[in-house]
Amino acid sequence: MQKIGSSTNTADANGEFTDGDPQTQVPCTWVMAAWLNTLQRELVHLCEEAGITIDPNDDTQVYQAIAQLLNTSTEGMVKTVNERQPDEHGNVKLGSAADADIQTSRDDVTAGRVLVNGGALALRTVLAGAGRAVTDFDGLPANSVSFGYNDATHSPGFTGSVLDFSGSSGKYNAQIATQYNGNGNHIAFRTHNGDAAGAWNNWFELYHTGNKPTATDMDALPLADTDLNADLNTLGAYASAGVYHQVSNADATAASHYPIAEAGTLLATPSAYGCQQEYTTFSSRRKFIRGLSAAWNGTNGPWQDWNELYGPTNPNEIVSTSANSYRIVYGNYGAFWRQDGGNLYLMLTNSGDAHGSYNSLRPFTVNLASGYITMGRLGLTDYT
């Protein structure tokens, strides 16, 4: 390529054109054939390099040549940047991050800055599982979203995505894992204690409408969701504790050791030797209880007899096996009946000791063998 100054001495000091100035005797620049031929050869060469045959009737061939060369794989020519193609003008546009500043630290949250890996959550292809590059959930990268299998060490017990994020110095991580398969209803979390030993804490599971806790999870008695069809004598182990229901009178049989042939609810609660049982009937509203008489034998007992609790719906008489029974406490005194095997006494307490033992007074005594009545003190008054 030549400048005009290469073919004439009428160019200026920079080898460029001048209009000349007669007053200062500066000549105008002469256009020489050598310079024009140089321009012509340059333009012809441009077209030929683009594979275009010179056509004197086509004034667009230089433009065609430039456009063609921009789309040709020529050494040193940029065709794409980050997979971006040139537009119709041959320009390759860079993304908005090309002229943006990057974070100065992981805690830099200045708007518009490009995030540095580690300064924000990063999506990664790290997989944790048995036989993989990462075999332990403890080894998952911080501030990332990874994927872990249930066979990995320290997994939450299911397979799914794992979100890891940290604060402060980066040693106080937290991980949240979500199950992807099955019902996808398990969510668990754990935290990393960056102090001292810096150990991971245990996983804890979140309960929600799709993953409700069981009675065992809540240390509560389980509620049986099916009709009771077992022999009640077999429900004596601690593991049998729970709430059961019998919906059929016909199935509440003596052969299955029901206290009464009536549908109802069985409550088995932990007690001495194993479980004790409480049966409440459905229609008659009666209640029966019994317990084990010795350590649970592993199959069917040994059970005590059923005892019915007294109440308005209990048609049976009230029975007491204690010598002293049926005490009345009111004011400063107590009164009760005592049966010592020979006599029946009306017993009285001292004043201020209504719940205490009886005193020496015997106002009324019945001999159980003869039926004779003895009145300890008798005061008669005529009423008119």
CA distances in angstroms from 48 to 37, 39, 89, 191, 300, listed in the order given: 16, 14, 21, 70, 105
Same domain, 299 and 344: no
* 60, part of any domain: no
Same domain, 240 and 296: yes
Same domain, 198 and 148: yes
Q: Look at residue 269 in the predicted model and tell me its pLDDT.
A: 96
182 token code pair = 């099955």
* 199, part of any domain: yes
225 token code pair = 């969701």
* 81, part of any domain: no
Same domain, 294 and 335: no
Find the radius of gyration of the CA atoms of the chain.
51
Which positions of the chain have pLDDT values less than 70? 72-86, 88-96, 105-111, 116-125, 168-170, 315, 384
What would the pLDDT profile of 287-325 be if each residue is shown by its tens digit?
999 999 999 999 999 999 999 888 777 767 777 889 999
Total domain count, the chain: 3
145-177 as b/e: b if 16+ CB within 10 A: bbbbbeebebbbebbbebbbebeeeeeebebbb
**Is the peptide bond preceding residue 27 cis, with omega within 30 degrees of 0?**
no
Contact 138, 153 (CB under 8 A): yes
Q: Look at residue 74 in the predicted model and tell me its pLDDT.
A: 47
What gap in Å lies between CA 122 and CA 143, rounded to an integer? 6
Q: Look at residue 86 in the predicted model and tell me its pLDDT.
A: 67
49 token code pair = 């390099």
* 146, part of any domain: yes
Same domain, 197 and 254: no
* 47, part of any domain: no
Same domain, 346 and 302: no
> What distance lies between CA 293 and its chain's CA centroid?
45
What gap in Å lies between CA 233 and CA 274, rounded to an integer? 12
Q: What is the amino acid identity at position 337?
A: W
Percent residues over pLDDT 90 in the chain: 52
What is the residue range of 239's domain? 232-308
Q: Tell me how far apart the 2 most distant CA atoms of the chain are, in Å.
A: 171
* 331, part of any domain: yes
Query: Which of 73, 75, 76, 45 lies closest to 61, judged by CA?
Result: 45
Task: Name the pTM for this structure.
Answer: 0.47
Task: Tell how strand 242-246 and strand 204-206 pair up.
Answer: unpaired
Torsion of CA 335, 338, 343, 345, to 10 degrees: 0
* 31, part of any domain: no
Same domain, 255 and 297: yes
97 secondary structure, DSSP code:
G
Q: Look at residue 142 in the predicted model and tell me its pLDDT.
A: 81
Q: Look at residue 75 in the predicted model and tell me its pLDDT.
A: 47
* 30, part of any domain: no
Query: Which of 12, 9, 28 lies closest to 20, judged by CA?
Result: 28
What would the pLDDT profile of 136-154 be if each residue is shown by its tens digit?
999 988 888 899 999 999 9
What would the pLDDT profile of 240-259 be if each residue is shown by its tens digit?
999 999 999 999 999 999 99
Last residue of a domain, one of 206, 241, 262: 206
Q: Mutual orientation of helices 33-49 and 61-70 as an angle, nearest 10°?
A: 50
